[in-house]
Amino acid sequence: MSTATVESNHSAALDAAESSAFARITVTMRVRRFNPEVSAEATWVDYQLEMDPKERVLDALHKIKWELDGTLTFRRSCAHGICGSDAMRINGRNRLACKTLLKDINPEKPITVEPIKGLTVLKDLVVDMEPFFQAYRDVMPFLITKGNEPTRERLQSAEERERFDDTTKCILCAACTTSCPVFWNDGQYFGPAAIVNAHRFIFDSRDEAAEQRLEILNDRDGVWRCRTTFNCTDACPRGIEVTKAIQEVKRALITRRF
């Protein structure tokens, strides 16, 4: 390829990149606002923004907060789908704001953003996560072993590791638990995320407290409350087969094999 052709290709690529960088559209973000210090009622507020469709819902929320209304309150930390702090209900479905591109959720219509359901709203998009984390703590989400500390690492075959690989991916975003109709009706239910994190240890060959965890989940608020609606699997931003994990825990309770 001649130098002139390389340069012309390069310049065409730059032109394309520049024109797409400026392909902005007007987006209406319809956000559920709630401030208990101002009113007991939540209200929907519309914000018109100039956005690139390839930007994310989190970018739109930042733009509102930084340029239009600094009182808008939401959680986010990593902005890259790792910390799990920005799960919210976007166009009626639980998603991570930082992983949701505007172009994928029909930006020509108003995009609704509201808090995840089933947990008390503290302000705007921020909910009280304590009941969610209490259920997580209740299943003892850590390795439990008996006897003396080993003098070398605890060995595990690739097959044994594979047994619980899926459930290690959980980022505790609560998208699954707060999409579950059983949890909406009765916040006492442990919920999918706690069961996923119990699964992660129940099926770990190095762990020795599977029986204890199974008994905890045999409770009236445990796995038997699950109605297999698959909402949790659909909601999980990590692609974890949440319903399958719950079924495996149910089976382990019956067979006592894990």
> By the criterion CB under 6 A, which residues form the site for ligand SF4?
84, 170-176, 192-193, 196, 235-236, 238, 240, 242
Question: Which of these ranges, 4-12, 43-51, 71-79, 152-160, lies near ligand FES under the rule CB under 6 A?
Answer: 71-79
- What is the rounded distance in angstroms from the CA atom of residue 167 to the CA atom of residue 99? 20
Distance in Å from the first CA to the final CA of the chain: 61
CB of 99 vs ligand FES, minimal distance in Å: 6
Q: Does 126 bind ligand FES (CB under 6 A)?
A: no
Q: Is 42 in the site for ligand FES (CB under 6 A)?
A: no
As measured in angstroms, the least distance from the Cβ of 14 to ligand SF4 is 39
Return d(Cα 57, Cα 53) in angstroms, integer: 10
Give 111 or 193: the residue with its C-beta nearer to ligand SF4: 193
Distance CA 171, CA 237 (A): 9
Q: Using an 8 Å Cβ cutoff, are 91 and 111 in contact?
A: yes
Q: Which of 71, 77, 106, 134 binds ligand FES (CB under 6 A)?
A: 77
CB of 111 to ligand SF4, least distance (A): 21
From 85, 94, 179, 243, residue interacting with ligand FES (rule: CB under 6 A): 85
Contact present, 231 and 180 (Cβ < 8 Å):
yes
* Per-position x/- string for 160-189, each x denoting binding to ligand FES as judged by CB under 6 A, each - no binding: ------------------------------
d(CA 142, CA 149): 15
Please work out, in degrees rounded to the nearest 5, the angle formed at the alpha carbon of residue 168 by the alpha carbons of 222 and 196.
10
CB 199 within 8 A of CB 167: yes
- Sequence letter at residue 25: I
Residue 76 sits in the site that holds ligand FES (CB under 6 A): yes
Residues at the interface with ligand FES (CB under 6 A): 76-79, 81-86, 96, 98
